[in-house]
Structure 1
Amino acid sequence: MRHALLLIAALSVSSPALAADDWTRYSNPRFGYSAAVPPGFTLQQEADNGDGATFRADDGRSELSIYGTTVEGGEFAGEARKRIDRDRARGWTITYDKVTEGWASYSGSRTADVLYVRGIALCDGNAAYFRLRYPRDALKRFDGVIGRMVKSLRLATGCDRAPQKAPGAAPN
């Protein structure tokens, strides 16, 4: 019995959602947001324009994008709904969506993959998003990961300044 409890404890600690020490933080100075990156995800590429970054799971089966964007017309909820519509047009079956003036979340599936997207309104008509695509057979494993990521996506600085310009880009 004691060995079984030790095994259960060891497996619990190795779960991505519970292994707090293995999480890293991605911060974006251009848009002033940050988000937690789960263990087992490695930076693949940072956007040339300074918007965000893409991470890939070590097993190659999952991908995470974290990025900022300027909201067309400055209306976050409408822009978030357009993103949902674009993903539907790309073949994702959206099974959950919730859009408010300050945040939006939606999820769905396509063939063997699951998609979860979370966005928050930032200052000055901007928004930050994370987009996580992972295999359907890892659904339970990613539940805790998504919960932690949702809580972690936040404004990294106050709203007293505009986002920085992209490297080499024209002013916003």
Structure 2
Amino acid sequence: MTMRFLFSVMAGLVVAAPALADTLTYKNSRFGTSITFPAEIFRQAMEPPENGDGMTWLSDDGASLAIYAFNNALMQTPEEFADTASEPAGREGFEVTYRRVKDNWVVLSGYVEGDIFYDRFEFGANDVIHAMLLRFPTDLKPKYEPYIADMGKSLKGP
């Protein structure tokens, strides 16, 4: 292998990798929900709700990221929760195209109101569900897709 070939391969790998954004780790004081996300993309924090259940951030290009938690008042299993959350319930253009249910988490993704959505729900201690709701315009899928897995995996709660 020549040095020139090795350099070309390495340069290709560097170009193919998504640029790492500065991150912010948010932790909710009421429920202990935490997540790490690209702070340089989601720069505008909205006013938190009075009940202190979470926060929402907006991007400059029309995306939104909501992080919150709530009590599992209906005592739903992840499967039951996924069934309920997959119903259109009056949401225009709502279509689930990806659904994954495990022992303590649910992921739903698809389309709603012309946007792509990615929702992750972690079933935590004390019957609390920790949630990440990401929405972005369909034409921005190449921009947001590289961040989804890391953001989803970073969603935690007690």
> In the alignment, what sits opposite 1:142?
144
For 1:29, what is the secondary structure of its paired residue?
A: coil
- CA–CA separation in structure 2 for the residues paired with 1:9 and 1:53: 34
> How high is the TM-score relative to the length of structure 2?
0.80
Please state how far the C-alpha of 1:111 moved relative to its aligned partner: 5.2
> 1:45 pairs with 39, 47, 65, which one?
47
Contact 1:74–1:126 (8 Å) recurs in 2: no
Percent identity (aligned): 28
2:75 is aligned with 1:71? no
2:153 is aligned with 1:151? yes
Please state how far the C-alpha of 1:9 moved relative to its aligned partner: 5.0
Kindly tell me the number of residue pairs found equivalent between the two proteins. 147
For 2:153, what is the secondary structure of its paired residue?
A: helix
Please state how far the C-alpha of 1:80 moved relative to its aligned partner: 3.5
- CA–CA separation in structure 1 for the residues paired with 2:53 and 2:83: 20
> 2:108 pairs with 106, 109, 121, which one?
106
**Which structure shows the bigger proportion of residues in helix conformation?**
1
For 2:100, what is the secondary structure of its paired residue?
A: strand
- CA–CA separation in structure 2 for the residues paired with 1:80 and 1:101: 12
> In the alignment, what sits opposite 1:23?
23
User: Cα 1:101–1:75, aligned 2, differ >3 Å: closer, same or farther?
Assistant: farther
- CA–CA separation in structure 2 for the residues paired with 1:128 and 1:117: 11
Contact 1:72–1:79 (8 Å) recurs in 2: no
Which consecutive segments of 4 or more residues in structure 1 shift more than 6 A? Answer: none
Letter in 1 for 2:34: S
Q: Gaps (5+ residues) in structure 1?
A: 158-172
Letter in 1 for 2:35: A
> How high is the TM-score relative to the length of structure 1?
0.74
> In the alignment, what sits opposite 1:58?
60
Q: Gaps (5+ residues) in structure 2?
A: 1-6
- CA–CA separation in structure 1 for the residues paired with 2:104 and 2:30: 20
RMSD: 2.5
- CA–CA separation in structure 2 for the residues paired with 1:54 and 1:11: 30
User: Cα 1:10–1:95, aligned 2, differ >3 Å: closer, same or farther?
Assistant: closer
